[in-house]
Homo-oligomer: A and B are copies of this chain.
Amino acid sequence: MQYGLLVMGAPYSTVSPHSALRFAHAIIARGHCLAGVFFYHDGVHNASSLMAPPQDELNMCQAWVELHQQHEVALDVCIAAALRRGLMSESEAQRHGKQAFNVAPPFELTGLGQLLELQQRSDRFITFA
């Protein structure tokens, strides 16, 4: 079956990204396909390339990148929620006249349409918040 996940909690603030990541690995291990993870609300912080947790804590951004590399899971981030909260890609940084960016591929800033599209093409759609 095809799964889609919605993540709405920030790492190091809530535990929901941890739950989502464990669940992602469990469905893939079962042989299902994880079509994509959409990050919305405070979940956009998962995409921050600047996070630097202590050595003995998981780097959640890196963990999502590895999930993408191993299983080709799309990592879409709501652009409106992200910009508000200080998350930007290189092209958005240029557009907003900022000197830096903290969202890089495989994370993609995208509209809410992608969330609805993911939900519609997934057989199972699960929210972690």
By a beta-carbon cutoff of 8 Å, the part of chain A in contact with chain B is: 10-13, 41-42, 45, 48-54, 57, 61, 80, 83-88, 92-93, 96, 98-102
Contact = CB atoms under 8 A, between A and B. Distances in A.
Contacts of A92: 52
B53 A41 contact: no
Contacts of A57: 84
A10 B41 CA distance: 12
Nearest to A100: B100
Given A13-B41, A13-B42, A53 B102 contact: no
B50 A100 contact: yes
Nearest to A86: B48
6 contacts: A10-B10, A13-B42, A51-B85, A52-B92, A52-B98, A86-B102
A13 B96 CA distance: 21
A102 B50 CA distance: 9
6 residue pairs, one from A and one from B, having the closest CB atoms: A48-B86, A100-B100, A51-B86, A50-B86, A12-B84, A52-B83
